[in-house]
A and B are shown apart, each in its own frame.
Chain A
């Protein structure tokens, strides 16, 4: 069976193809070279004039696990939000579930309908990993994976305090990746979630956790080194200290230096780019942050754009969410300490364009998008659902690609916020090629998905085909066709075949003797056995739908 995608305009940044008209051949789920004349083409799609890209990859989206399910449970009223009436309304059908807390099923459907073929849960709590994988297993259509959260667990902090050597740290980090079936490591408010359990309410980059006497900087150094030395492709995923706090851009700038030049990814950086200028003591530090991002080539970032409307923020950062809970809308929040592992905070938010802070947050995110020069190091996210539901990506893409549209939206904002933003002076409009980098090639490259995010020979045939349209929101909201692993799964924005994607994991090697001390720790301090904590591959793949794809680290290819 060979499928031919004929005459499409290819946007494939990996091969430098920027709108080149070319045919693509698919066989057994992979892109192949042009077959010989004797081989039969089973199906041909005439894509003349159509835009062809690899399936999009969301490298940071809270799609499953404890805090997401708490958000669903706490907010049944969201499920009934069938239509957005916000000014930022996206293309929406009468029965759509374009809300902040879609079920696992809807999550998969909404993603594939937009041409996304993979999404990564960035805050997989090791002790809650089984739930996260259960939810992701029930998510049809797309590939998925998770970044395991470390750096607030008492086991790791004890190691730091005891000055364990880097090899011991590396073994533990590698063990966690294996035990939790994850592809990357994340740290949330380094040391802060733990410090909150000792009643510390804020933690700065060089401030000690009062019990362990270690700083966030030391945690970042230790974990970024471990990730690097283990050869894990995905750089340490960092949610900085002081999320959401005015003046936090200094923490963010400091964090960029905490890894001594080793790669780190700073996530939802918009929430960490706030100054204290102006009457309201809240200002944009997008210029300083963007400048630093441009200079520091070892740092990548995703934006975490906010868009106006109702959403919910679900974070591991219970320390900062406890402070944010006073802004909850509707007025409720769940704050949890979890298993000497981490925590979570779920706080509903309604971002309003007439609110000074919200309006400026909107502008700050866009300022960063437009000021960071290298599209390979900045990624398109709303930190779903924290800044906005992922279903608003097409709208965000239009804001980036269409200056007139952007400036019209800006003109409707709170006037004080307008006065504090230089957004209208930024003339940049993202090109289709740059969008393809941010949402495909760059994301795959960042996570280490070698056969995704591009259209080269041998790539997995995750392919999205759009009708070119100057209304980029309409264009990206409803692709003509989406292929997942070579199968046509979406036609004219509707799912025509249900498939089950794979789970991407990294399994670096480790010294098995690491389990001796871990077992002792579990037996003494935990409430479950070490063996119950570990997730067997069969748990993900034995249901006949799920499968695991193991990615070799950078070391393997050296």
Chain B
């Protein structure tokens, strides 16, 4: 058989479209894309990825060759004193390169979805937590409490793979799933979680309230039932989405969730699962942590890392940074508006309202080049495969060349 450059053989593939990183997809690089074990997110992801326009780098919207664009980016960063590296939609190998560049340029680092990540990190740094991972849930969970999310909108195959599975190591029944604080109800979660914690204490007066009294829109009876089901479980799991908690001091609500889990663990086995948001947030956070000692949000000053989850947010830094490097390789997420010179490196399908000073389209990890990515539970790092031949450089190649060309 004659080898073909345009392979149409399906390969078993790991999908970076959400934090589950399903690696049982079978994808062909044909158009239209054909995917076995697809979901709503993977179809959109691969469809966009495999239909990217053929475009070149550009400077202020004018086409430029890669070398010129890289030099222009290096010049901007070379002149900057406090650049902001934001977006950070990348995987481990890309983040490694970004960290090296950040050390050289005294940059601040923040991921596009760090709001949720930071809420979890702050809770974990304040009191710790007790958590579990996907395979444990698949095989052990018999009761699941889901907080602030329906899960499927963000992780379409979660239930198919981990809840409705027929095979499990201990022949357990399909777990019962309970929800709290969906959609606009999420703002009531601080009150609801405090009530659940209070109800754990038999002496708390809340226990004497009538069953039909409402707390945060939920009856006392329903709250008591939730606790009873968790207490009666063999292995209960509490899942929350920190990104859904869009109210001030939401980290305290995360902490309220983790405290409930800890309390339940005094007698039972109950474990938490914080969901992530995607676009490489878990990969970026982990890589930053082992390379600098700190999770994001952090920065480098004269080679030394500093950490400040509050001040180093994109929102705060946008007004004071003197250069913005926006990275988004998985999806065509656009950079925020910024007065400082903006360099965009990422998905070829970006349609800018305001042309950045430099735009360098790069390959999509798991499509155009291999990579390594952390799953939502941060315990498993998965290899991403290459799906097609492309002329697009990888992010890490481009970043390394920018670093090499700094003045």
The answer to whether A and B assemble together is yes
Contacts of B383 in A (CB 8 A): 130, 532, 536, 539
Looking at the complex, which of A103-111, A215-223, A228-236, A242-250 is the stretch in contact with chain B?
A103-111
Contacts of A528 in B (CB 8 A): 21, 23, 135, 380, 382
| Chain A CB within 8 A of B342 CB | no
Please judge, given known A-B contacts A336-B130, A336-B379, A527-B138, whether A138 and B169 are in contact too, CB under 8 Å: no
| Residues B128 and A332 in contact, CB atoms below 8 Å apart | yes
User: How close is B42's CB to chain A, nearest CB, in angstroms?
Assistant: 15
Size category of the A interface is: 35 or more
User: How close is A303's CB to chain B, nearest CB, in angstroms?
Assistant: 27
Contacts of A524 in B (CB 8 A): 167
Please judge, given known A-B contacts A138-B290, A525-B135, A529-B23, whether A127 and B169 are in contact too, CB under 8 Å: no
From the candidates A97, A128, A322, A341, name the one contacting B293 in the complex (CB within 8 A).
A97
| Chain A CB within 8 A of B136 CB | yes
User: How close is B228's CB to chain A, nearest CB, in angstroms?
Assistant: 17
Question: Digit string of B165-184 for contact with A (CB within 8 Å is 1, else 0)?
Answer: 00111100000000000000
Contacts of A102 in B (CB 8 A): 293
Contacts of B271 in A (CB 8 A): 336-337
| Chain B CB within 8 A of A166 CB | no
Contacts of B372 in A (CB 8 A): 130, 134, 539
| Chain B CB within 8 A of A101 CB | yes
| Chain B CB within 8 A of A420 CB | no
Please judge, given known A-B contacts A79-B293, A199-B268, whether A332 and B379 are in contact too, CB under 8 Å: no
User: How close is A215's CB to chain B, nearest CB, in angstroms?
Assistant: 20
| Residues A64 and B290 in contact, CB atoms below 8 Å apart | yes
| Chain B CB within 8 A of A75 CB | yes
A506-558, CB < 8 A from B: 524-529, 531-532, 536, 539
| Residues A527 and B381 in contact, CB atoms below 8 Å apart | no
User: How close is A126's CB to chain B, nearest CB, in angstroms?
Assistant: 11
Question: Digit string of B209-247 for contact with A (CB within 8 Å is 1, else 0)?
Answer: 000000000000000000000000011000000000000
Contacts of A403 in B (CB 8 A): none
| Residues A527 and B135 in contact, CB atoms below 8 Å apart | yes
Contacts of A158 in B (CB 8 A): 169
| Chain A CB within 8 A of B31 CB | no
| Chain A CB within 8 A of B48 CB | no
Chain A, residue nearest B24 (CB) = A529
Contacts of A64 in B (CB 8 A): 290
User: How close is A181's CB to chain B, nearest CB, in angstroms?
Assistant: 13
Contacts of B292 in A (CB 8 A): 103
| Residues B124 and A340 in contact, CB atoms below 8 Å apart | no
Looking at the complex, which of A66-74, A277-285, A430-438, A456-464 is the stretch in contact with chain B?
A66-74
Q: How far is it, in angstroms, between the C-alpha of A197 and the C-alpha of B234 when the chains are bound? A: 9
| Chain A CB within 8 A of B121 CB | yes
Question: Digit string of A40-83 for contact with B (CB within 8 Å is 1, else 0)?
Answer: 00000000000000000000000010101100111110010000
Contacts of A75 in B (CB 8 A): 125
| Residues B291 and A131 in contact, CB atoms below 8 Å apart | no
Contacts of B380 in A (CB 8 A): 127-128, 130, 339, 527-528
| Chain B CB within 8 A of A487 CB | no
Question: Digit string of B380-404 for contact with A (CB within 8 Å is 1, else 0)?
Answer: 1111000000000000000000000
Q: How far is it, in angstroms, between the C-alpha of A72 and the C-alpha of B167 when the chains are bound? A: 36
| Residues A338 and B133 in contact, CB atoms below 8 Å apart | yes
| Chain A CB within 8 A of B204 CB | no
Contacts of B12 in A (CB 8 A): 529, 531
Contacts of B20 in A (CB 8 A): 527
Q: How far is it, in angstroms, between the C-alpha of A103 and the C-alpha of B99 when the chains are bound? A: 13
| Chain B CB within 8 A of A23 CB | no
| Chain A CB within 8 A of B10 CB | no
| Chain A CB within 8 A of B63 CB | no
Contacts of B304 in A (CB 8 A): 95
| Residues B378 and A79 in contact, CB atoms below 8 Å apart | no
| Residues B129 and A334 in contact, CB atoms below 8 Å apart | yes
Q: How far is it, in angstroms, between the C-alpha of A338 and the C-alpha of B304 when the chains are bound? A: 33
Contacts of A127 in B (CB 8 A): 135, 379-380
Contacts of B140 in A (CB 8 A): 197, 337, 340
Question: Digit string of A130-156 for contact with B (CB within 8 Å is 1, else 0)?
Answer: 110011001000000000000000100
| Chain A CB within 8 A of B269 CB | yes
| Chain B CB within 8 A of A211 CB | yes
Contacts of A529 in B (CB 8 A): 12, 23-24
| Residues B265 and A322 in contact, CB atoms below 8 Å apart | yes
Contacts of B286 in A (CB 8 A): 69, 131
Contacts of B169 in A (CB 8 A): 154, 158, 340, 525
Contacts of B293 in A (CB 8 A): 72, 76, 79, 97, 101-103, 106
| Residues B161 and A532 in contact, CB atoms below 8 Å apart | no
| Chain A CB within 8 A of B134 CB | yes
| Chain A CB within 8 A of B345 CB | no
| Chain B CB within 8 A of A176 CB | no
Q: How far is it, in angstroms, between the C-alpha of A75 and the C-alpha of B125 when the chains are bound? A: 6
Please judge, given known A-B contacts A103-B291, A199-B268, A525-B167, whether A73 and B121 are in contact too, CB under 8 Å: yes
- Which one of B96, B127, B136, B265 has the greatest number of beta carbons of chain A within 10 Å? B136
Contacts of B96 in A (CB 8 A): 138
Please judge, given known A-B contacts A79-B294, A103-B293, A131-B381, whether A525 and B128 are in contact too, CB under 8 Å: no
From the candidates A101, A328, A340, name the one contacting B139 in the complex (CB within 8 A).
A340
| Chain B CB within 8 A of A333 CB | yes
Please judge, given known A-B contacts A73-B121, A131-B374, A211-B170, whether A337 and B295 are in contact too, CB under 8 Å: no
From the candidates B24, B268, B295, name the one contacting A73 in the complex (CB within 8 A).
B295
Contacts of A338 in B (CB 8 A): 132-133, 136, 379
| Residues B307 and A79 in contact, CB atoms below 8 Å apart | yes
| Chain A CB within 8 A of B289 CB | yes
Please judge, given known A-B contacts A66-B378, A531-B12, whether A197 and B136 are in contact too, CB under 8 Å: yes
Please judge, given known A-B contacts A197-B235, A527-B138, A532-B23, whether A130 and B381 are in contact too, CB under 8 Å: yes
| Chain B CB within 8 A of A177 CB | no
| Chain B CB within 8 A of A331 CB | yes
Contacts of A322 in B (CB 8 A): 265
Q: How far is it, in angstroms, between the C-alpha of A414 and the C-alpha of B115 when the chains are bound? A: 46
B90-148, CB < 8 A from A: 92, 96, 121, 124-136, 138-140
| Residues B135 and A339 in contact, CB atoms below 8 Å apart | yes
Question: Digit string of B6-50 for contact with A (CB within 8 Å is 1, else 0)?
Answer: 000000101000001101100000000000000000000000000
Contacts of B138 in A (CB 8 A): 525, 527
| Residues A334 and B131 in contact, CB atoms below 8 Å apart | yes
Contacts of A135 in B (CB 8 A): 290
Chain A, residue nearest B374 (CB) = A131
Q: How far is it, in angstroms, between the C-alpha of A130 and the C-alpha of B161 when the chains are bound? A: 23
| Chain A CB within 8 A of B162 CB | yes
A336-382, CB < 8 A from B: 336-341, 346
Q: How far is it, in angstroms, between the C-alpha of A341 and the C-alpha of B379 when the chains are bound? A: 11
Q: How far is it, in angstroms, between the C-alpha of A68 and the C-alpha of B121 when the chains are bound? A: 15
Contacts of B134 in A (CB 8 A): 339, 527
| Residues B126 and A332 in contact, CB atoms below 8 Å apart | yes
| Chain A CB within 8 A of B305 CB | yes
- Which one of B21, B128, B287 has the greatest number of beta carbons of chain A within 10 Å? B128
Q: How far is it, in angstroms, between the C-alpha of A197 and the C-alpha of B269 when the chains are bound? A: 7
User: How close is A279's CB to chain B, nearest CB, in angstroms?
Assistant: 28
| Residues A532 and B14 in contact, CB atoms below 8 Å apart | yes
User: How close is A212's CB to chain B, nearest CB, in angstroms?
Assistant: 11
B158-203, CB < 8 A from A: 161-162, 167-170
| Residues B133 and A337 in contact, CB atoms below 8 Å apart | yes
Taking A335-B128, A337-B140 as known contacts, 11 extra A-B pairs with beta carbons closer than 8 A to each other, sorted by chain A number, are A76-B295, A103-B293, A138-B290, A138-B291, A197-B235, A332-B127, A335-B129, A337-B132, A337-B136, A525-B135, A539-B372
The contact sample of 12 A-B pairs, CB cut-off 8 A, is A101-B293, A102-B293, A103-B292, A128-B379, A131-B381, A134-B290, A135-B290, A335-B129, A336-B130, A339-B136, A527-B135, A529-B12
B residues adjacent to A (C-beta < 8 A)? 12, 14, 20-21, 23-24, 92, 96, 121, 124-136, 138-140, 161-162, 167-170, 234-235, 265, 268-269, 271, 285-287, 289-295, 304-305, 307, 372, 374, 378-383
